[in-house]
Amino acid sequence: MSATKAIHVHLQEGNAQHYFEVMKTNFGGTTTENSYTLNTGPIRINMSSYDIMGELEMLISETT
């Protein structure tokens, strides 16, 4: 079994855009106003946020 290392990412509480920017800074990838995408070899992450009501957001992620 191969050894893995933990990755710790510190996020500022707030809207999904904060999460997307932290992911981009730490792992690369691209962001838009409501999404984050990383596609590097065996790692794929797609995250999208949707405004539901005022300050309530729904965040959907797909990771492979």
Range of the domain at 49: 16-63
Give the total number of structural domains in the chain: 1
Name the pLDDT band for 3 (thresholds 50, 70, 90). Answer: confident
CB of 23 closer than 8 Å to CB of 11 = no
Name the pLDDT band for 1 (thresholds 50, 70, 90). Answer: low
d(CA 10, CA 19): 9
The reported pLDDT for the residue numbered 15 is 87
pLDDT in tens, 15-50: 889 899 999 998 999 999 999 999 998 889 999 999
Alpha-carbon distance values, 33 to 2, 3, 8, 41, 50 (Å):
37, 36, 24, 25, 10
- Residue 43 falls inside a structural domain: yes
CB of 52 closer than 8 Å to CB of 60 = no
- Residue 46 falls inside a structural domain: yes
The reported pLDDT for the residue numbered 2 is 66
